[in-house]
């Protein structure tokens, strides 16, 4: 019971923080702020909870934050709550663990969607950049669309109900063999670099 109350307290604190941060936006109108706040809360509530660890996604629609959040100094899960255009290449680097639990699997996720408390996807978003260079192992793009080319330099790349509008190029046949693309769509070519 104490663990459950601790978790609930942590979760409510995170949700309150997200709502406060959503209210500190720039010149968006009130409806946009409310929508953003709800979407942020939905994403935060959608982040998996284990019996020992409660974590939240790093959430931002600012292009610079997206680049930083997917860098080696970023987080194991990154989410956007609206369409985002990043003018520079995105480098997904670093080794991360599912729910930040180092005793768990190596895993990293880009969430291009929001969902409700029942984990039903309520909206999908588009992230656009010239190129996404994937150096993090077991990196998954979940739902939504990435517009641009993807260069994969690490094992275990995955598409899960997501789409890449561009080419996906693997540095080696072994990396391509370790990828899981059949749960997603690639509109361009999927090749091994020569």
Chain centroid to Cα 33, Å, comes to 21
For tokens 């291009």, the residue is 112
| Residue ranges of E strands in 86-189 | 90-92, 108-111, 113-115, 121-124, 126-134, 139-142, 145-152, 158-165, 168-170, 180-186
Q: What is the largest CA-CA distance in the chain?
A: 57
Local confidence pLDDT in tens for the 194 residues of the chain: 444 444 444 444 444 444 334 444 444 444 444 444 444 444 444 443 332 333 456 999 999 999 999 999 999 999 999 999 999 999 999 999 999 999 999 999 999 999 999 999 999 999 999 999 999 999 999 999 999 999 999 999 999 999 999 999 999 999 999 999 999 999 999 999 98
H or E element: which one contains 186? strand 180-186
Domain of 175 in residue numbering reads as 2-192
Number of domains observed in the structure of the chain: 1
Closest to 170 measured CA to CA, from 184, 157, 161, 182:
157
What pLDDT was estimated at residue 57?
67
H or E element: which one contains 43? helix 30-46
What pLDDT was estimated at residue 194?
83
């Amino acid at each position: 019971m104490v663990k459950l109350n601790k978790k609930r307290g942590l979760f409510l604190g995170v949700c309150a923080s997200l709502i406060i941060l959503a209210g500190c936006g720039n010149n968006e109108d009130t409806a946009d702020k409310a929508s953003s706040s709800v979407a942020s809360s939905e994403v935060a509530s959608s982040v998996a909870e284990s019996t020992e660890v409660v974590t939240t996604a790093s959430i931002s629609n600012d292009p610079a934050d997206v680049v930083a959040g997917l860098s080696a100094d970023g987080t194991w899960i990154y989410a956007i709550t609206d369409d985002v255009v990043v003018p520079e290449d995105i480098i997904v680097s670093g080794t991360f663990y599912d729910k930040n639990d180092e005793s768990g699997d190596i895993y990293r996720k880009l969430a291009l969607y929001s969902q409700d408390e029942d984990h039903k996807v309520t909206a999908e978003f588009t992230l656009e950049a010239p190129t996404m260079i994937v150096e993090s192992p077991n990196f998954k793009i979940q739902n939504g669309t990435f517009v641009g080319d993807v260069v994969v330099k690490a094992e275990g790349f995955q598409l899960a109900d997501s789409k890449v509008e561009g080419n996906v190029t693997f540095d080696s046949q072994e990396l391509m063999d370790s990828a899981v693309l059949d749960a997603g769509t690639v509109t361009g070519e999927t090749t091994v670099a020569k």
